[in-house]
Amino acid sequence: MSRIAYIASNTFREAVRDRVLYNLIAFALLLSGAAIFVGQISIDIERLVVVNLGLTAVSLFGVVIAIFIGIGLVSKEIEKRTLYTVLSRPVRRWEFIVGKFFGLAGTLVVNTFFMGIGVFGALLYVAHKFTRPDAQILVALYFIVLEFLIICSLALLFSSFSSPLLSAVFAFSLFVIGSFADDLRGFAGLTHGFMRWFATGAAYLVPNFSALNVISAVAHQQGPGGTLILQNTLYALFYTTMALSGAVLIFERRNLK
Amino acid sequence: MAAIEILGLEKTYMVGFWHKRPKRALQPLHLSVDEGEIFGFLGPNGAGKTTTLKMLMGLVFPTAGTARILGREWTDPEVKAQIGFLPEQPYFYDYLTAHELLNYYGQLSGVPGKGRKQRIEEVLQRVGLTDVKGVQLRKFSKGMLQRAGIAQAILHNPKLVFFDEPMSGLDPLGRREVRDLMEQLKQEGKTVFFSTHILSDAEALCDRVAIINKGELRGVGAVEDLTSTVQGKVEVVWQGTIVPASMKALGADCHVTGDTVRAVLPENQQDAAIDALRRERIRLIAITPLRTSLEAYFVEKMQVEKLQQSQTAGKTV
């Protein structure tokens, strides 16, 4: 167990020392700043604009960071041969994958924490005080973190067998399709025969990011209920575990030429 | 007990666009390395040395065969706590300093936290990497990276060390230091298995060597045995520039260099040569049996193989 923690800690350190990460954070903070600006010129809907823009920035840039770092987690280690001196130690391959996952997930949680502070700061700036419905932003942030967990595990899954470029294409495509998972399910309901089976299968196979996106609802002060929180938590954990298991299964059999 | 027993390990890669064409990287390999010896794994580039090492490290899976390391199955992860590995042209996490890198590897290898810091300092000093505190590995030269690589391989005080081309990237002084280090490891009772294509290093260091080419083992044995199959000739060196007629009569092949003469003659004429020099009152400097160098043995093995190949090609035509 401790080896997983050491690998996770090193992955976290790598992400923190990666300058690209800082650029993305700076950009996200800029967007939060822009939310304040847009909020100021939006009469009576400042809160709505700040929450919407701020949380979207947190989500989008987190996704970019998750994909950008996640796709290189395994393939970069193979390409640069840094993996050789890790796996020649008493480290099992699954420990490496799980450690890498927790390292990246930890990075994104810390990232979300600081960007969340930015969103609350922007909200305080335009609204001058917090109200009870603002606590729902925390739930939206929690769902964003769940979204990151799924994306991390998918990026790792693709990274375990393909090149960084292809992994990025796969992961980003799944993110886009998953964001419209509800629409895909609706489309499946309108079709017949083989197409219905295919569309339904695809709709349930891709990650359902639309269920995790409550930004608009929270901006309109219509927070998600406890059932949705529980369902989303279980769904994200299940999907992440499945994707990570797939990554482990592939990586366990891979020759590191 | 054998430190390493390779029992028919072989590797065939499937190459081509559809991964349908087999390419054999290693023929079934049988090899045993005793505990406490320095064993050289020699061969030209692409011979299969690195593939063998990668299989032993569990980085590449063999097509067939098995191996035992320190008496246990080589796939047993706990075996890895007792072995060290330096890959060829090592590359490390370049955002770390040497201290951070070794601390990370120490954690993964189970080096206790208490005393780890001291152990890191010792090892860095041992490989000649002093004054690198706070310097990230991305600022290291190739030679410094090689030293860091050796440091990580011996950090956890392993019983068995695998070095893949350990002299690569090192200057003559660095090579000498690594040779000294390998001898020290042997004196400490450790087993050293290293691959190289620098034959002089192998000849100077190894108790035994194996020669591999095109994935096939071509020869294995003690360096003395492989190099003593010569000629039955001795080299006699004496002071001066005079070559007595009696020496020529013995069939000596003489060369004058500066103020010494070197003569090569059959071993059974050795006593007669000494008598001849004594009669002429010439000062004898040395008599050395002539041995084949490891290089000559290696070249011979490679040439035999080429000859066999050309004969096979001739038959086919």
**What local confidence, expressed as pLDDT, does residue B265 receive?**
87
Q: How many angstroms separate the first and last alpha carbons of chain A?
A: 28
Share of chain A above pLDDT 70, in %: 95
Q: Which of A174, A169, A161, A165 is nearest to A247 (CA)?
A: A161
Distances (CA, A) of A108 to A24, A76, B64: 12, 19, 43
Is there a contact between A88 and B85 if contact means CB atoms under 8 Å apart? yes
Residue B12: closest CA among chain A residues belongs to which residue? A255
Give yes or no for a contact between B290 and B235, defined as CB atoms under 8 angstroms apart.
Answer: yes
Does any CB of chain B come closer than 8 Å to the CB of residue A92? Answer: yes
From A20's Cα to the closest Cα of chain B, the distance in A is 13
Helix (H, G, I), strand (E, B) or coil at B171: coil
Model confidence over B262-281: pLDDT tens digits?
A: 998 888 888 999 999 999 89
Is there a contact between B92 and A85 if contact means CB atoms under 8 Å apart? yes
**What local confidence, expressed as pLDDT, does residue B313 receive?**
65
Is there a contact between B80 and A81 if contact means CB atoms under 8 Å apart? no
Burial of B78-106, coded b for 16+ CB within 10 Å and e otherwise, reads ebbbbbbbbbbebebbbbbbbbbbbbbbb
ipTM entry: 0.86
Is there a contact between B85 and A253 if contact means CB atoms under 8 Å apart? no
Model confidence over A109-149: pLDDT tens digits?
A: 988 888 888 888 888 887 788 888 888 899 999 999 999 99
Q: Mutation target for A interface from B78, B93, B157, B162: give the one with most A CBs within 10 A.
A: B93
Structure tokens, B52: 């063998």
Give yes or no for a contact between B106 and B156, defined as CB atoms under 8 angstroms apart.
Answer: yes
**What local confidence, expressed as pLDDT, does residue B315 receive?**
59
For A101, the enclosing helix (H) or strand (E) is helix A93-127
Is there a contact between B81 and A6 if contact means CB atoms under 8 Å apart? no
Residues in chain B, pLDDT under 70: 228-231, 305, 309, 312-317
Per-position DSSP letters for A208-254, written without gaps between them: -HHHH--HHHHHTT----HHHHHHHHHHHHHHHHHHHHHHHHHHHT-
Q: Which of B176, B211, B183 is nearest to B197 (CA)?
A: B211
From A8's Cα to the closest Cα of chain B, the distance in A is 11
The stretches of B127-266 forming alpha helices (DSSP H) are 142-154, 172-187, 199-205, 223-227, 245-249
Is there a contact between B91 and A86 if contact means CB atoms under 8 Å apart? no
Helix (H, G, I), strand (E, B) or coil at B29: strand
pTM across the whole model: 0.84
B91 closest CB neighbour out of A14, A81, A257: A81
Model confidence over A195-236: pLDDT tens digits?
A: 888 888 888 888 988 888 888 888 888 878 888 999 999 999
**What local confidence, expressed as pLDDT, does residue A1 receive?**
56
Give yes or no for a contact between B117 and A23, defined as CB atoms under 8 angstroms apart.
Answer: no
B80 closest CB neighbour out of A13, A89, A253: A89
Pairwise CA distance, residues A4 & B222, whole Å:
43
Section A55-81 average pLDDT = 88
Q: Compute the CA torsion angle B309, B313, B63, A242 (nearest 10 deg).
A: 120
Is there a contact between B80 and A255 if contact means CB atoms under 8 Å apart? no
**What local confidence, expressed as pLDDT, does residue B162 receive?**
97
From B85's Cα to the closest Cα of chain A, the distance in A is 7
Give yes or no for a contact between B61 and B42, defined as CB atoms under 8 angstroms apart.
Answer: no
Q: Indicate if the pLDDT at residue A40 is higher than 60.
A: yes
